[in-house]
Amino acid sequence: SPRPRVDAGAGAPPARLAAAAHRAPILARPSRASLRARRSARGRQRAAMASAAAKKTFATLMKSFNATPRWTLRHFKQNLQEGMDKESWKMMLPGVRSSAQVAELKDSMKVLDALTDEELDGRTGVEGLRMTRVSRKSEQSRAYCADVLTRYEQTVLLHGWVRARDAKGLPQPETLEDATFLMSRDPAARPPPNSRVNRAMRTVQRRSRRRGF
């Protein structure tokens, strides 16, 4: 008949059991400092991944700029669409996965979807009654539609500046932040007097004066 199973600790001297208990691992809760260090490490890892993705996306955008002599609303729309399809950082906005910014992308696409082929290709400007039509068709306010077009004109400025810099053989920026910094110090990168970019800047200045800033 099989022998009965005997517990290894049964009948062991108390001193031996105490020694075994002393050697057993003790599962203690991590300290607050340890938890903070883990959260900080995860935050640095996410920031590094986001920075690498932003650099890669900006490099792709730079290649598109250099390959495109004229940057139109159609190119701008394609750039936004690719950013939505790939969930990438092509809108060049931090935290593009957040719900508010996803909604912003979708609203911008509604405005661009409301444009005609002539408007997308730059053969006709979007002003007056055309802006009213775009606003009604996209179900967005005229102010928001104008804001989308202002963002497009900002990318037109960036496109022209990048191509001019490439023609001169100057080094290109690696990130949007670098490009913004360099453009702010380059007189040739200033927007035309009648552009929407200048209008937006003048509006901000007027509001600041009213508030006493």
> Could you read off the pLDDT of 95-151 as tens digits, one per residue?
445 567 678 888 999 999 999 999 999 998 898 999 999 999 999 999 999 999 999
Measured CA to CA, the distance from residue 159 to residue 72 in angstroms comes to 10
Q: What is the pLDDT of residue 213?
A: 38
Between 203 and 74, name the one with better pLDDT.
Answer: 74
Task: For the chain, give the mean pLDDT.
Answer: 77
**Binning pLDDT at 50, 70 and 90, where does residue 204 land?**
very low
Cα→Cα distances 162→61, 69, 176, Å: 10, 11, 11
* Helix-helix angle 142-167:128-138, to 10 degrees: 110
Single out the residue of 203, 98, 193 nearest to residue 146, CA to CA. Answer: 203
Identify the pLDDT of residue 30: 74
Q: Who's near 151: CB < 8 A, 6+ residues apart?
A: 108
Is residue 71 over pLDDT 70? yes
Is residue 208 pLDDT above 60, yes or no?
no
Spell out the residues 6+ positions from residue 122 whose beta carbon is closer than 8 angstroms to its own: 70, 72, 73
For residue 186, what are the contacts with CB-CB under 8 A and spacing of at least 6? 161
pLDDT for the residue numbered 177: 86
pLDDT band for position 17 (50/70/90)? low
pLDDT for res 60: 80
Q: Which of 10-19, 32-41, 53-62, 171-180 has the lowest mean pLDDT?
A: 10-19
Count CA atoms within 13 Å of residue 166 on its CB side: 14
Higher confidence at residue 144 or residue 190? Answer: 144
**Measured between alpha carbons, how far is 205 from 8 in angstroms, rounded to an integer?**
83
Q: How far apart are the first and last CA of the chain?
A: 96
Q: Above 50 in pLDDT, residue 48?
A: yes
Q: Which of 24-38, 60-74, 77-91 has the lowest mean pLDDT?
A: 77-91
What pLDDT, on a 0 to 100 scale, did the predictor assign at position 119?
A: 95
The predicted structure's pLDDT at residue 186: 85
- Does the structure show a pLDDT above 50 at 205? no
Please tell me the predicted confidence (pLDDT) of residue 43: 78
